[in-house]
Structure 1
Amino acid sequence: MTDNHTPLELSWSWSEKQGNPAVRYSVEPIGWAAGTGFDPLNTRATVELLAKTPLLAPTLDLSLYRHFLEALTVSAAAGQGRREDELTNSDGALSQTFIAFDLREHDMVVKYYFMPTLKARILGESSLELVQGAIKGLPNVGSSYQASLSALSDYINSHDESERPVVEIVGIDCVDPSKSRIKIYVRSQKADFASMLDAMTLGGRTTPLSEQARVGLAELWCAIFDLGSDTTVFRDPLPERKHRTAGLLYYLELKAGSPSPKAKVYLPVRHYARNDEQIARGLSDFLARRGKGLVGRSYYDGVARLCKQRRLKEGLGFHTYVTCAVDGDGLAVTAYFNPVISQESQSRHVE
């Protein structure tokens, strides 16, 4: 689920109107029998975890989960008898799903994520083709996503094949299908400010960004990547990184009946920032200028307390992504981090 194989990722999320963040986490449950003949693709542990959530998530609805699980993943039965190299992604990963929880005052929202690469490869399709078919095949509501899905696929296919963004993840809310978002995550190898602005509007296919939103995005870009205010920082790409998760990740949110997706950018600070100290201070200052932080302390103070395995300035990898979505004329920002860091990911730049 994460670059350093930690099956857990934490996040703090600030909306434009919130001073303090919502707390969320994602986890890839791993069963004792994972990787054995009994559970070759680790499909059982998540089912067991989902069975324990209804008391804390009274609106839980697994209709979409069941549909996309069948459409986008390889089942344990289908995996039996296949060679090991057929059951791994290009980076050797077997992961196909993970689950996330948004914690609220009295309950929680359950979200589920599918990584369709493995099944797409076995079927000889692109991930986009597989995902399009899965959404169109949704009982009763599939056609209501058509306008947004067409805008997304048109944008992806407008790129030359060598630069085409790739679908990596599909996410859903485990609620009534008519109320759920379908979130499609695409990764682009382009890592410059102009391409980010272009992707945030799907190449002009959605509502243009306001000047205030553009200024906020530029401020965040410079803050978390430790860049000056010279105009060249918005023209030049970030340093090249040879890693599967280099480039920029985008999430496109589809809602039933909506004419176009809503975009969010995931900035992989673990690849491009100087160190976790710089990320924490830059983001802390960005949030403070907007009256945001943690309860009784700054973002920097909270992260410094949370990262117990080393000092923030000693490496990269505690922060994984900083994300940003336009929220009116303002910005909604989320910080993601790994609670456990392997020795490999503590180097200055993860190769």
Structure 2
Amino acid sequence: MTPSQSLQVEAKPWHLVKTKWEGISEPYQQYWYQTVGYMLGALLDSAGYSYESQTSILHQFANLVTPYLGVAPWSELPRWESFMTDDNTPIELSWDFHTGADQPTIRYSIEPIGADAGTGTNQYNEGTAAAFKQALFKAYPDIETALLNHFEACFNGSWADRNPEGHCSTFFWAFDLNEKTITNKAYFFPGVVAHATHRSKLIVIADAITSAPGCRIGMQIPLHIYIDFVYQHPGLEPEIDMLALDLVPLEKARLKIYFRERRTDFGSVKETMSLGGRIQGPEFETGMKRLTRLWDALTGMHNKPDDIPLPYKDHRTAGILYNVEFRMNAETPKVKIYIPVRHYAKNDQQIIKVLKEFLTEQVGQRQDLRTAPVSAESYSRCLGNLFDTKALAGGLGVHTYIGCSIQRGGDLRLVSYINPQLGKMNSKVPFASPEMRTNGEKLPN
């Protein structure tokens, strides 16, 4: 019996934690754990996490995270319009395949949201992020906070009126869930400060980075390579979304600027991934050839010239999302692309099929890994157990992005980002009736 099959019968760590937390009187917390918590448990199980790790991670989710996900969809209170996902779900799950043969890593990102967020008493969700971090640091006092404190001071603020961003989110938090450790990540939106000070978001972020402890010299070179690329392409006008940092010791720190381009032709992808030719070499060229195959398979652009754009989509998250990564004392930045399959793929089942075929081929090309298990097999089974087959084959929305970065040897590291769309869940999941999943009714106790 495979991990996914055994979980379909009984998700033991999830049930164990559920039993312990059934005493929670707050119905919204119960809702988030019994739904998204179940999906998180399914991913952990299918990815091969140990029983102990699954239980520990789910305890953390139930205890520290569910109080800060806002109201349940069935609530009559106003629902905070989180920028985390296109349908405002405040949590996004992800499955990091790495390059296909290693054990995958499960991660998730949240926007801390108060139950009163968006109401007359707390229109802009103020105070919730601080309360969430206080609870987290109390539980995990060894988290590195030096850079976090600096960037909090740089980006501190909230919207006082209608803003030009198209959303009111100002802060995200993420967890990379390794077998024995959890890496915390923080995400800051510079729009509030940029709007208030009449500066561009890129300048606001650059000023914050160059004034950060230890970063002025250590990250100056890769940062200026990216800034030089932007300034030498005045018509490009990338839309800066946010700055991310890992809460790790400074010498291991990564800072990432997330930006969106409305250009969707693959020629523009090549230009951005190379930062206008500033990133190059045999490994990069190999990686771009593989990215071309993956892009064509996901978007249906086989045999199309590189200057042909994807079909036009009039949406805030249309276009192509990237991040540019700066590591301490690195000479060049690294670019990662997020292919927005939510807008441009055929359906979710096709995305699963493409990932499985691509990773199987990539692993098979390595002499030392031809017989290694490919985690895409487990991923395919897991999503097949979680979601209704017709829903996966009939539309989009479960997958939001496929993240791709070029690794040593030219292999692609792939990450699948998942919106936990409860209305598309398989009827065999144990937490609720079909009526609740489709109509948003309250979960039974």
Q: What band does the TM-score fall into relative to the shorter chain?
A: 0.7 to 0.9
Within 5 Å, which residues of 2 pair with 1:169-180? Answer: 169-180=242-253
Q: Compare the two structures and name the one with the higher helix fraction.
A: 2
Alignment of 1:246-257 (within 5 A): 246-257=318-329
Asked if 1 retains the 8 angstrom alpha-carbon contact of 2:145 and 2:247, the reply is: yes
Within the alignment, does 1:107 sit opposite 2:181 as a pair?
A: yes
Alignment partner, residue 338 of structure 1: 419
- 1:65 paired with 2:139, answer no
CA distance in 2, matches of 1:204, 1:298: 37
For the Cα contact (< 8 Å) 1:15–1:327, is it kept in 2? no
AA at the equivalent of 1:181: R
1:53 Cα shift?
A: 3.5
Q: What is the aligned partner in structure 2 of residue 281 from structure 1?
A: 353
Q: Could you tell me which of 287, 300, 321 is aligned with 2:380?
A: 300
Quick one: distance in 2 between partners of 1:309 and 1:46? Answer: 37
1:219 match: secondary structure = helix
Q: Contact 2:100/2:359 (CA < 8 Å) preserved in 1? A: no
Q: Which residue of structure 2 aligns with residue 320 of structure 1? A: 400
| Separation in structure 1 between the aligned mates of residue 177 and residue 141 of structure 2, nearest angstrom | 13
Contact residue 183 and residue 247 of structure 2 kept, 8 A: yes
Which of 198, 202, 207 aligns to 1:124? It is 198
Shift of 1:43: 3.9
Contact kept? 1:97, 1:113, Cα under 8 Å: yes
TM-score of the two chains, using structure 1 as the length reference: 0.86
> What is the aligned counterpart of 1:204 among 274, 277, 298?
277
Q: Displacement, 1:299?
A: 3.1
8 A Cα contact 2:105 2:178, kept in partner: yes
**Aligned-partner SS, 2:346:** coil
C-alpha separation between the residues in 2 aligned to 1:177 and 1:37? 41
Q: Is the 8 A contact 1:73 1:114 kept in 2?
A: no
Q: Measure, in 2, the Cα distance between the counterparts of 1:178 and 1:107.
A: 18
Letter in 1 for 2:313: R
1:141-190 deviation digits (Å, cap 9, x = unpaired): 323211111111111122234x3212111000012233210011111111
Deviations 1:71-125 (A, max 9, x none): 12415xxx5xx3x32xx3431x110011000001112000011111232112211
More strand by share: 1
Residue 139 of structure 1 corresponds to: 213
The aligned counterpart of 2:25 is none
SS state of the match for residue 309, structure 2?
coil
Query: How far 1:294 sits from its partner (Å)?
Result: 3.1
Runs of 4+ residues over 4 Å off in structure 1: 36-40, 54-59
CA distance in 2, matches of 1:306, 1:43: 35
Q: 1:157 matched to which residue of 2?
A: 231
1:3-62 residue CA offsets vs partner (Å, 9 max, x unmatched): 221101011112237433110000111112324576443243333333344587675111
Answering whether residue 79 of structure 2 is matched by residue 4 of structure 1, we say no
Alignment partner of 1:33: what SS? coil
CA distance in 2, matches of 1:15, 1:99: 21
Q: Which amino acid aligns with 1:28?
A: E
Tell me how far apart the structure 2 counterparts of residues 281 and 234 of structure 1 sit (CA, whole Å). 24
Q: For the residues of structure 1 that align with 2:224 and 2:267, how far apart are their CA atoms?
A: 23
Name the counterpart of 1:13. 96
Q: Does residue 1:194 correspond to 2:267, yes or no? A: yes
Deviation at 1:200, TM superposition (A): 1.1
- Paired with 1:139 and 1:323, the residues of 2 have a C-alpha distance of 30
Amino acid corresponding to residue 305 of structure 1 in structure 2 = N
The answer for unaligned runs of 5 or more in structure 2 is 1-83, 364-372, 425-437, 439-445
1:133 to 1:142, Cα distance in 2 relative to 1, 3 A: same
Give the equivalent residue in structure 1 for 2:124.
41
1:271 maps to which of 343, 346, 355: 343
The 10-residue stretch of structure 1 (182-191 or 45-54) with the greater mean CA deviation from structure 2:
45-54
TM-score between the two structures when normalised by the length of structure 2: 0.69
Partners of 1:39 and 1:256 in 2: CA distance:
39
State the distance in 2 between where 1:26 and 1:247 align: 21
Q: Partners of 2:413 and 2:242 in 1: how far apart? A: 21
Alpha-carbon contact 2:92-2:418 (below 8 Å) kept: yes
